[in-house]
Amino acid sequence: MGRKPQSVDHVIAGLRAQHYLADSALATAVFLSIALERPLFVEGEPGVGKTALAQAVAQMLDVPLIRLQCYEGIDRESALYEWNYPRQLLHIRIRELDGDDRDTLEQSLYHEDFLLKRPLYAAIRPNGPAPVLLIDEIDRSDDEFEAFLLEVLSEFQISIPELGTIQAVERPIVILTSNRTRDVHDALKRRCLYQWLDYPTYEREMAILRERMPQLNPRLSEHIVRYVQCLRTKTLQKPPGLAETLDWASALEVLGVETLSAEAVERTLGCVLKYREDMGQADHQAVTTILQEIAHG
Ligand SMILES: Nc1ncnc2c1ncn2[C@@H]1O[C@H](COP(=O)(O)OP(=O)(O)O)[C@@H](O)[C@H]1O
Ligand SMILES: [Mg+2]
């Protein structure tokens, strides 16, 4: 691994160099997770910067990012390793031609070369420096998989019946994320440092937009952020995250919009609101009201 950050301020600066703006609470959590070698569990609404955090941490440390994307039905084989049967079969065919006997043949089959290494394996036994392991959207997996993860994160070792136990030489830095579609078990949380990631404040969101899209006219940026912040105070099926703010800004830029008029908002609000139930906020009356609010606020 590259040099570990020496302080919380180093983390803030290091992430900033990757265009990721972290407040001191988040930077402290990252710092402690690295210093104490404890997994970091980051929970928050979609689009608040959880996945991007792991990417930025890996870049900051100059180590690879290994991502395990969780989904419904994910199992240990797809997370850890599988035997590469087609390759083993081919190997048998070739060795049979050489006239190898059965025992030699069988022994030669269970070799690391015949493993399909999935993300957890790759993170515990990397080819290079210890990576950042991102276990993304763990709330999508089920209880059984969670229990298995707990085991992996306690031991950082893999036992392969045919080969024996493989231990991590250096522990990866682990970041788990959840969109909180369900609660993750206490046992797993207890293993980790916990950080809730909220929607950004106006100041932070402005800073992020300026950081990501410095070319955008500052007044337009300001209006975009005020508008999104205002939308988040409404009752919505899915309030917009930072991802939506950035998408919207890109769309307005591409369309050559210079000031946020009602017409411009109505044309582009599909970048921000993604649920039919929320489209009430996209009609002319609602848009005009918000534009008036932000003009006076
Ligand atoms: N603190 C931040 N600084 C800079 N960019 C950010 C920050 N938080 C989020 N972003 C940007 O917002 C977008 C959405 O973030 P993402 O990590 O995908 O959200 P999540 O994983 O929480 O759903 C990404 O383009 C990301 O780069
Ligand atoms: Mg994500």
> Are 101 and 224 within one domain?
no
Q: Residue whose CA is closest, atom 27 of ligand 1?
A: 52
Q: Looking at the structure, do residues 229 and 150 belong to the same domain, yes or no?
A: no
249 lies in some domain: yes
Tokens 């769309």, residue located: 251
Question: Is 53 domain-assigned?
Answer: yes
Ranges of H-type helices in 98-171: 102-109, 119-124, 143-155
Task: State whether the beta carbon of 228 lies less than 6 angstroms from ligand 1.
Answer: no
Distance 97 CA to ligand 1 centre (A): 55
The verdict on the CB of residue 54 being under 6 Å from ligand 1 is: no
Residues 101 and 28 in one domain: no
Q: Which amino acid is at 55?
A: Q
> For the chain, which ranges sit under pLDDT 70?
1-2, 297
Give a yes or no: residue 76 inside a domain: no
Please check whether residues 185 and 237 belong to one and the same domain: no
| Judgement on whether residues 12 and 112 belong to the same structural domain of the protein | no
Looking at the fold, whether 172 and 266 belong to one and the same domain comes out as no
For residue 162, the domain's CATH number is 3.40.50.300
Whether 3 is in a domain gets the answer no
Cα–ligand 2 centroid distance for 240 (angstroms)? 14
Single residue among 154, 171, 197 that ends a domain in this structure: 197
* Minimal-distance CA residue to ligand 1 atom 8: 49
Residue where a domain stops, chosen among 155, 182, 197: 197
The reply to whether ligand 1 has any atom less than 6 angstroms from the CB of 213 is no
Task: Name the residue of 242, 244, 248 whose CB sits within 8 Å of the most ligand 1 atoms, as the mutation to test its pocket.
Answer: 242
pLDDT score for 2: 54
**Nearest ligand, CA 135:** 2
- Close Cβ partners of 90 (under 8 Å, ≥ 6 residues apart): none
- Residue 51 Cα to ligand 1 middle (Å): 7
Closest ligand to the CA of 197: 1
Q: Are residues 16 and 45 in the same domain?
A: yes
Measured between alpha carbons, how far is residue 217 from residues 22, 126, 247, 269 in Å? 24, 44, 16, 19
98 CA distance to ligand 2 middle (Å) = 51
Separation between Cα atoms, residue 198 and residue 185, nearest integer Å: 21
Same domain, 67 and 127: yes
Residues 291 and 235 in one domain: yes
User: First and final CA of the chain: distance in angstroms?
Assistant: 47
The count of structural domains within the chain is 3
Residue the block writes with tokens 């290091």 = 14
Q: Is residue 1 part of a domain?
A: no
Q: How far is the CA of 241 from the centre of ligand 1 (A)?
A: 8
Q: Give me the amino acid identity at 11.
A: V
Residues 140 and 46 in one domain: yes
Does residue 46 line the site of ligand 1, with CB under 6 A? yes
Helix, coil or strand: residue 127 = coil
- For residue 289, how far is its CA from the centre of ligand 2 (angstroms)? 32
Closest protein CA for atom 16 of ligand 1: 49
280 in any annotated domain: yes
Could you identify the atom of ligand 1 that is nearest to the CA of residue 48?
Answer: 22
Together in a domain, 178 and 258: no
Within a domain: residue 2?
no
Which pLDDT score, from 0 to 100, does residue 295 have? 86
Structural domain range at position 183: 8-71+123-197
Instruction: Let me know whether 159 and 218 are in one domain.
Output: no
| 65 falls within a domain | yes
* Ligand 1 pocket member 50 (CB < 6 A): yes
252 C-alpha vs ligand 2 centroid, how far in Å? 24
Q: What is the pLDDT of residue 76?
A: 94
Q: What's the pLDDT at 97?
A: 87
Domain boundary among 136, 166, 197: 197
- Closest ligand by atom to 42 CA: 1
